[in-house]
Amino acid sequence: MSSLGDAIDSSLEKRLEDSGNGTGALIAAIRLLNRGAVRWALRLLMKEVELDGEKKPLMEWVLAKYVGESQCPTVAHFVAPFFELGMKLATAWLHADEEPIKQLLSDPAVRRGIVTTLRGIALFGVTTPQKLPAPFFIVWNFTNACNLRCIHCYQNAGKPLPNELTLEEKLRVVRELDEAGVPAIALSGGEPTVHRDFWPILAEMARRGFYTAIATNGITFADMEFAERAKKLGLRYVEISIDAADPNIHDKFRGVPGAWSRAVQGLRNAVKLGLSAALAFTVTKVNINEVDKVLDLAQEIGVRRVVFFNFVPVGRGRENLDIDLSPEEREQFLRYIYKEMKRRKMEIVSTAPQYGRVVNQLGNGSDTAPTHFVVANDPITRELTEFIGGCGAGRVYAGLEPDGTLTPCVFLPYPVGNLRVRSFWDIWMDPFMENFRDRDRLEGFCGRCPYKLICGGCRARAYNYFGDVLAPDPGCIYNSNEWKKLVKDLPRVKIKVSPLTFK
């Protein structure tokens, strides 16, 4: 794994320090954090402290005290004044306003994310990509039960599995993820809202301060009372899948007539309630010509964020390999949505890690997409991209199966370990997970690509096409030859597709 010194050359550092845009201070801070004495101090601040049965790192308690929370252990009351003094000095030196920082830190999920990052530096030093002691978020396939029958479903959902976690086990998992320092949990499926445990688990996640999210087909959210109850219990982010502006295409894709109208209504309800909402769209040959119309639909509904999911041949997707885009089609598509993002002035992102490279190339280095959550053009984010960028499987996120099995990604169903028999820490630190945290292990062109720190290729696609998480991603334009070899062996599946065209 590369060191910070390998990541930043001295001439670049000097130029940034002279620029006055904050990046020089950032680099200096990162170098400071990597010093042995500072890491030793950080390890002290990461010691767990318990209050009323709740365990948190001391630093997390200190941040809570800093923003005005009174229920903190005695040691946090002692340390907090020193931290507050340090913050006042730092903001004065940087000519920054302290109040917005306090507002940001008032969110317990943000505090937990910061502490998890600092804990990673304390334990592992500064690395590229940054190695973390816990992922920033877990995508929890809450149940295998589903009220739709999507042709591309990575979970092959339908009926619940006989060995799914009980409510008691789910509550224990939430507690363990809390103590591990995971900031966010996204419930997925199957369809999480059809399970009887959805409500108590949502409430418990919110009570513990997680950033609570859901990836849903939107059917249940078409009922305003359901959506209102979800918000009241603490749901913060709703991502609803709509795979076409044409109801017939969507319903055929999703396997149930009427699915489109309810999904659209569910999204409208989420927007009306003021929930953070996004439209999710899995891009395939079947619906790629719906992209413009779906973006129009999102704007008409009032959604400011559209997430284009990378098709991965897993679950029922393996039965429909012919709907996958070629590398050339994917490249054209990613370039197109970047331009549309600039034109429409809305958040348009993709889970394809190549989007980070495309944004970097088309933005001439001014724009960056460190993850599929955001595209930004500020200098500090650009400097952080190599530490957090690219495929996040097994690194900044992980998947959790209905039976408690932890996987690197919901699209990469490799069973690393089960929370019924192993601790989260033990599974997260499993040697297999190192394959996702050391980009020098990558094989083929992905291993020597100059963009591997901001992309790294989709490890799920590599695994599902080649059976090897370190193999090249056949969806990348730079791996076109790998794709050409693959398509000779792909089974032919008769699905009506349209030629790739954009207006």
Kindly tell me if the per-residue pLDDT of 19 is higher than 60. no
Mean pLDDT is lowest, of 1-5, 70-74, 76-80, 317-321, for 1-5
- pLDDT score, position 371: 67
Residue 303's Cα: distance from chain center in Å? 19
Question: What pLDDT band is residue 457 in, cutting at 50, 70 and 90?
Answer: very high
Rounded Cα gap, residues 234 and 187, in angstroms:
13
**0.85 exceeded by pTM:** yes
Kindly tell me if the per-residue pLDDT of 4 is higher than 80. no
Question: What pLDDT band is residue 83 in, cutting at 50, 70 and 90?
Answer: very high
Kindly tell me if the per-residue pLDDT of 237 is higher than 70. yes
Domain residue ranges in the chain: 137-489
Mean pLDDT is lowest, of 210-214, 270-274, 462-466, for 462-466
Rounded Cα gap, residues 305 and 49, in angstroms:
38
Kindly tell me if the per-residue pLDDT of 78 is higher than 60. yes
Q: What is the pLDDT of residues 32-48, one digit of tens each?
A: 788 888 899 999 999 99
Q: Are 170 and 154 in contact (CB under 8 A)?
A: no
Q: Report which of 346, 293, 284 is spatially closest to residue 320, judged by C-alpha positions.
A: 284
Q: What is the pLDDT of residues 318-338, one digit of tens each?
A: 888 889 999 999 999 999 999
H-helix or E-strand spanning residue 405? strand 405-407
Kindly tell me if the per-residue pLDDT of 383 is higher than 70. no
Mean pLDDT is lowest, of 149-158, 254-263, 264-273, 490-499, for 490-499
- pLDDT score, position 379: 63
- Average predicted confidence (pLDDT) for the chain: 89
Residues 6+ apart with CB under 8 A from 425: 133, 180
- pLDDT score, position 7: 29
Specify the DSSP class assigned to residue 131. P
Q: Are 370 and 389 in contact (CB under 8 A)?
A: yes
Q: Are 180 and 424 in contact (CB under 8 A)?
A: yes
Rounded Cα gap, residues 226 and 270, in angstroms:
10
- pLDDT score, position 493: 36
Q: Are 219 and 149 in contact (CB under 8 A)?
A: no
Task: Give the mean pLDDT of 216-228.
Answer: 98
Q: What is the pLDDT of residues 272-283, one digit of tens each?
A: 999 999 999 999
- pLDDT score, position 90: 84
Mean pLDDT is lowest, of 5-19, 69-83, 139-153, 322-336, for 5-19
Query: What percent of the chain is predicted at pLDDT more than 70?
Result: 88
- pLDDT score, position 386: 73
Task: Give the mean pLDDT of 423-452.
Answer: 96
Question: What pLDDT band is residue 170 in, cutting at 50, 70 and 90?
Answer: very high
Kindly tell me if the per-residue pLDDT of 341 is higher than 50. yes
Kindly tell me if the per-residue pLDDT of 21 is higher than 70. no
Question: What pLDDT band is residue 382 in, cutting at 50, 70 and 90?
Answer: low
Task: Give the mean pLDDT of 311-324.
Answer: 90
Q: Report which of 281, 187, 283 is spatially closest to residue 240, judged by C-alpha positions.
A: 281
- pLDDT score, position 375: 73
DSSP code per residue over 198-209: HHHHHHHHHHTT
Question: What pLDDT band is residue 501 in, cutting at 50, 70 and 90?
Answer: very low
Kindly tell me if the per-residue pLDDT of 98 is higher than 50. yes
What CATH superfamily classification does 137-489 receive?
A: Aldolase class I (3.20.20.70)
| Residues counted in the chain | 503
Q: Report which of 323, 320, 321, 395 is spatially closest to residue 353, judged by C-alpha positions.
A: 395
Q: What is the pLDDT of residues 101-128, one digit of tens each?
A: 999 999 999 999 999 999 999 999 999 8
- pLDDT score, position 17: 40
Kindly tell me if the per-residue pLDDT of 6 is higher than 60. no
